[in-house]
Structure 1
Amino acid sequence: MMVRRLLLVLSLATTAAAQQKGWEKEWNETLAAAKKEGRVAVAGSPDPVMRNEIIPKFTSRFGIQVEFIAGRAVQYIAKVKTERSAGIYSVDLFMTGVDSTVNTLYPEKLIDPLRPLMILPEVIDGAKWKTGKLWFIEPEERYILRVFRSVSGHLFYNAEHVKAEEVRAAKDLLNPKWRGKISTDDPMVNGTGANNAAMLYSELGADFVKRLFIDQNMVFSRDRRQYTDWLARGTYPICLSCREDDLKALRKDGFKLVEVFDLSDVSTRVNGSPWLLTYANKAPHPNAARVFANWIASKEGLEIYSRGYGAATLRTDVEESFLDRATVPRPGVKYFDDTEWSWTITGRKSARENMQQLLREHGKK
Structure 2
Amino acid sequence: MRAVAAGLVLGATLGLLAACGSPDPTATPQPVDDPTAPDTREAWEVQWDELQVKAREEGELVIIGGSAAVVYRPLFKFFGDKYGVKVRSSGGSSRQLVDRILAERKAGRFTIDLFISGLGTSLERLVPNGVLQPIEPLLILPEVNDLSNWSAGRRRFVDPGREYIISYAASAGSGIEASWYNTNRLTTEDVQSITSVWDYLDKDWLFVTTPPTDPGSSGGWTSRWWAPDVGPEWVEAWIRNPNVTWMIDARAIQDGLVRGRWDLEIMTVGVGGEFERLQELAAPIANIDQDPVIRDQWTDLNFLSGTASGDIVSAVDRPLNPNAQQLLLNWWLSHEGQTQRHILTTDRNPDPTLRTDVTEWGNTLPEDRRVPGKEYAFLEDTPGYDPVQGLEDMVALWESIHR
Q: TM-score interval w.r.t. the shorter chain?
A: 0.5 to 0.7
Match of 2:316 in 1: 280
User: 1:34, CA displacement in angstroms?
Assistant: 1.1
Superposition pairs of residues 260-279 of structure 1, within 5 angstroms: 267-273=301-307, 274-279=310-315
Percent identical pairs in the alignment equals: 24
Report the Cα distance in structure 2 between the residues aligned to 1:268 and 1:108, rounded to whole angstroms. Answer: 34
Q: Which amino acid aligns with 2:339?
A: E
Within the candidate set 129, 133, 141, 1:108 is matched to 129
Shift of 1:289: 0.2
- Matched with 2:146 is 125
Partner of 1:300: 336
Report the secondary structure of 1:66's partner residue.
Answer: strand
Determine the structure 2 residue equivalent to 1:62: 83
**Whole-angstrom distance in 2 between the partners of 1:120 and 1:334:** 27
2:94 to 73, 83, 104: 73
Distance 1:281 1:125 in 2: 25
Tell me which amino acid in the other structure corresponds to 1:119: I
TM-fit CA distance, 1:133? 4.3
Structure ID, larger Rg: 2
Distance change (3 Å), C-alpha of 1:200 and 1:25 = same
Counterparts of residues 2-13 of structure 1 (less than 5 Å): none
Residue 178 of structure 2 is aligned with which of 157, 163, 169? 169
Cα distance in 2 for partners of 1:209, 1:59 equals 55
CA RMSD, 1 decimal: 4.4
* Aligned-pair CA distance for 1:334: 5.1
Written as runs of structure 1 = structure 2, the 5 A alignment for 1:1-365 is: 18=40, 20=42, 22-47=43-68, 50-138=71-159, 141-152=162-173, 169=178, 198-200=218-220, 202=222, 211=249, 267-273=301-307, 274-307=310-343, 308=345, 309-319=349-359, 322=362, 323-331=364-372, 333=374, 335-341=376-382, 346-347=386-387
Q: Distance in 2 between matches of 1:58 and 1:196?
A: 42
Whole-angstrom CA distance in 2 between matches of 1:283 and 1:36:
15
Aligned partners of 1:49 and 1:196: how far apart in 2? 31
More divergent stretch after superposition (314-323 vs 54-63):
314-323
Report what 2:229 is aligned to: none
Residues 246-303 of structure 1: per-residue CA shift (max 9 Å, x gap): xxxxxxxxxxxx9xxx7x9x95531124322221111111001011101110111111
Structure 2 residue identity aligned to 1:319: T
CA distance in 2, matches of 1:62, 1:139: 34
8 A contact 1:149–1:272 mirrored in 2 = yes
Is the alpha carbon distance of 1:74 and 1:49 closer, same or farther for their aligned partners in structure 2, counting shifts above 3 Å? closer
Residue 84 of structure 1, CA deviation? 1.3
- 1:284 is matched by which residue type in structure 2? L
Matched-pair contact (CA < 8 Å) for 2:69–2:116: no
Secondary structure of 2:318's counterpart equals coil
Change (3 A) 1:343 1:210: farther
Provide the C-alpha distance between the structure 1 equivalents of 2:250 and 2:108, rounded to a whole number of angstroms: 45
CA contact (8 A) 1:41 1:91 kept: yes
Alpha-carbon spacing, 1:325–1:49, altered in 2? closer, same or farther (3 Å): farther
CA shift in 2, pair 1:338/1:351, >3 Å: same
CA deviation vs aligned residue, 1:32-55 (integer Å, no higher than 9, x gap): 111121111112222387344212
Deviation at 1:98, TM superposition (A): 2.6
- Unaligned runs of 5+ residues in structure 1 are 1-14, 155-167, 173-194, 217-236, 240-257, 356-365
Whichever residue aligns with residue 291 of structure 1, its letter is L
Amino acid at match of 2:46: K
Give the Å deviation of 1:339: 2.7
* CA deviation string 1:328-362 (max 9, x = no partner): 23345454434335676x2158759x99xxxxxxx
Alignment-mate amino acid for residue 314 of structure 2: T
The letter of the residue matching 2:178 is A
Could you tell me the TM-score, scaled by structure 2's length?
A: 0.53
* One-letter amino acid matched to 2:219: M
